[in-house]
Amino acid sequence: MQDSSCNFNDCFLCRFCIPEWKEAIAVKKQTLSFKKGERIFVEGETVRGIYFLYEGFAKVHKRWIGQKDLIIRFCRSGDVLGHRGLGDDAIYPVSATAIEDVKACFISHDFLEASLKTNHGLTYTLMQFYARELQKAEQRLSNLAHMEVKGRIAEALLDIREFFGADQDNFISVIITRQDIASYAGTTYETVFKFFVELQQAGIISTTGKSIRVNKKDKLMQFVQVEANKGLPGTVH
């Protein structure tokens, strides 16, 4: 859904382009709105352009083993969506879905190329963004390959808590479903449910409905460290 408003202060594109280029952006961009649960773009679709998120939260995910989804990352205001589809293939290799209502600035592939050629600061910042995303993706793949499931779920909870923050009652400020936690940790809903019961009995987390509160961050970190150490050479198990 297209929206007429645009937040030039929070949009990644607007923040890093030269002031003179904002007039061109105002003409070429579209401000799009997506409801909670709505797909922003779909894996396998032809690339239309790139999205700069300035309101709401989204998840980037792809088809994985047994038709399950693997969540690659979560996104918030200031993040970029759709950059994985840029290149010679011109096909989105991942999907993006709003987990809360989202507003995003959308620009076409052609206008992005013109923007990068004109705005060296934008090009450099986007290059740094790509490098950070690659490092994070490599670490995530390593953890999925070498860390056992309890460590992955514990790490997922810590990552989600850090990314979204907490409300005044110390619950994670955004409702993240157990299925999304499973998809982020590379496991099943049933495994997450069973481990949550264990964590709640130990007082490490508590839940109210779908809301989750991390009570003992250090205890969750112990699961991550134990599982990570199992993969180190010379470690005695």
pLDDT of residue 235: 39
Residues 110, 151, single domain; the answer is: no
Q: Which domain holds residue 29?
A: 2-122
Neighbours of 27 (CB within 10 A): 8
Residues 114, 151, single domain; the answer is: no
pLDDT of residue 60: 94
199 in a structural domain = yes
128 in a structural domain = no
140 in a structural domain = no
Residues 97, 161, single domain; the answer is: no
222 in a structural domain = yes
Sheet holding 39-41, edge to edge: 39-41, 95-98, 58-63, 69-75
Residues 9, 118, single domain; the answer is: yes
As a whole number of angstroms, the distance between CA 120 and CA 27 comes to 20
234 in a structural domain = no
Structure letter (DSSP) for residue 207: E
136 in a structural domain = no
Q: Does pTM top 0.75 for this prediction? A: yes
Residues 40, 104, single domain; the answer is: yes
Q: How many domains does the chain have?
A: 2
133 in a structural domain = no
Residues 205, 169, single domain; the answer is: yes
Residue 21 sits at φ, ψ, to 5 deg, of -80, -15
User: Within the chain, how many helices (H) and strands (E) appear?
Assistant: 8, 11
pLDDT mean values, one per 10 residues, the chain (237 residues): 52 83 89 95 91 93 84 91 76 93 92 91 89 85 84 95 94 95 94 96 94 95 75 42
- For position 180, which CATH number holds? 1.10.10.10
pLDDT of residue 64: 83
pLDDT of residue 236: 38
The dihedral through the CA atoms of 155, 157, 160, 163 has a sign that is negative
127 in a structural domain = no
| Cα distance between the two ends of the chain | 54
Residues 6, 100, single domain; the answer is: yes
pLDDT of residue 227: 56
- For position 20, which CATH number holds? 2.60.120.10
